[in-house]
Structure 1
């Protein structure tokens, strides 16, 4: 693959991921770095963790929505002027990977009031760590939709790979899948995009160490 214009954020220096044209990273700024720092800090209370996680989720969701296709449209303003604008092409939906992906559902609903959301449950074998899909529920016409696949922490990429495979089995085109993610390791990027090079990954950070405590802390089960 050729080089791309992605931005490796937060000084991670992970140039090995620059080859992926369909890897998108939130532009680095101090606000995002602060949110990431709070979420990684072991001393952050659960209340603060959830508050700042929701802030970062909202930023990721907003940018993920920007990756969806738009079409031109004209509207008439209250002063009877014609405004040349944009609107989403029809056929978008969200799919969360249970359970941590459910943390991102409200952020998507806050941005898209009536969007439909499906779910996938992927479990890993305790001994072999092999991932397997045990439950999937999607809109009946998901094959005609663009899908925002929501999964906040991606360490190995195995869970997301299984989820993408199920979406493809249900007729979703690979290029119509956008992974909305908060924290991702280089290994996960390689695992997912080497197998599914036409999908997109939108994340806030690529770092060798993922905050795997996210789900437990967010839902208060730690």
Structure 2
């Protein structure tokens, strides 16, 4: 991704007529204060050859081979690099692309990619920040598809009903079972009932807003997490550690299912400011061992604040950093800007 360009890519998958577009429209409406664009996988249908057009009723539009995935990947790559793209316009009546017309898509805060098979190809799958699967009952999807093909895609009612009777069982359902449903496991969020699930959509919108409001360093380094500054900052920090499920039998004989840390923990306190959080850490993790480390700063050209995060993340890219604050920078005397004095002095009462 080009430096300075940060785009939140959201991908929405699900069976045909499951309500994907409705979910996307609701997300876009709620993110009205951000620039959001929708890219449909349907725009990347391959145009039918003359022979295929003659036997269009035998063509499987729900198969991965029906899409030009290479061009889709090219468009995604350009958007990630901050470049505008021209998305094809597909004519569903003629079953081919409009040769002279394109849809201009500019880089936006949020780009939503919607389609039945956007989870199928691993290369496409790996380009997204959030993957959403819209889960809707098969009978409801079939009824919606009949309505969509007659009203939106200009197809004859009798031909649509004939297609529903013959091709749904021959192509649509097998393609869903073979390609769409297995990709459900890759979803970060599954939305039952589609657009009717307002709670799930509200949570997704809130998550996207949180991501868009991240500190710039969090956008550059995915392993940097800035948590809300509260009195429970230690508990929030521990929440980012890996857990494993564990069952405990209580003194009354009841079985309680909880979590336990995957590995043993130790604390390393950076003298002196880090010592202010030792009691809170001991309260959360009984019997934890705590070591000490002293970082000398005066006159050693050491770098902290954002400069320190850059250095650590570049040297140790898999190290997770959890903090409640990232200061602006250091001045020529290596003092934090804007600065509120040395926290260790304020905590221990040694500030002049």
Shorter-normalised TM-score: what interval?
0.5 to 0.7
Cα distance in 2, alignment partners of residues 62 and 81 from structure 1: 26
Q: Is contact 1:8-1:25 (8 Å) kept? A: no
1:213 to 342, 345, 349: 342
* Alpha carbons of structure 1 residues 105 and 188: separation in structure 2 relative to 1, 3 Å: same
Shift of 1:15: 2.5
Cα distance in 1, alignment partners of residues 247 and 218 from structure 2: 40
Shift of 1:130: 4.0
- 1:18-45 per-residue CA deviation (whole Å, 9 max, x = no partner) reads 1211111114xxxx4xxxxxxxxxxxxx
* Alpha carbons of structure 1 residues 73 and 8: separation in structure 2 relative to 1, 3 Å: closer
Q: Which runs of 5+ in 2 are unaligned?
A: 9-128, 130-206, 329-336
Q: Within 5 A, what are the aligned runs for 1:183-222?
A: 185-208=305-328, 209=337, 210-222=339-351
* Alpha carbons of structure 1 residues 116 and 85: separation in structure 2 relative to 1, 3 Å: same
Q: Is contact 1:76-1:82 (8 Å) kept? A: yes
- Between the two structures, name the one with larger relative contact order (CA 8 Å, sep ≥ 6): 1
Matched, 1:101 2:274: yes
Q: Which residue of 1 aligns with 2:238?
A: 65
Shift of 1:203: 1.1
Cα distance in 2, alignment partners of residues 14 and 80 from structure 1: 47
Q: Is contact 1:77-1:83 (8 Å) kept? A: yes
Q: Which runs of 5+ in 1 are unaligned?
A: 33-55, 132-155, 158-184
* Alpha carbons of structure 1 residues 25 and 107: separation in structure 2 relative to 1, 3 Å: same
Which has the larger displacement, 211-220 or 115-124?
211-220
Q: Is contact 2:218-2:225 (8 Å) kept? A: no
The alignment's C-alpha RMSD in Å is 3.0
> Where is the helix percentage greater, Structure 1 or Structure 2?
2
Shift of 1:79: 4.9
Q: What is the DSSP-based 3-state SS (H/G/I as helix, E as strand, rest coil) of the residue aligned with 2:220? A: coil
TM-score by length of 1: 0.52
Residues paired across the two proteins, number? 139
- 1:39-83 per-residue CA deviation (whole Å, 9 max, x = no partner) reads xxxxxxxxxxxxxxxxx4x52211121122222211224553323
Structure number, greater radius of gyration: 2
- 1:159-212 per-residue CA deviation (whole Å, 9 max, x = no partner) reads xxxxxxxxxxxxxxxxxxxxxxxxxx4333212212221111111122313434
Q: Is contact 1:17-1:189 (8 Å) kept? A: no
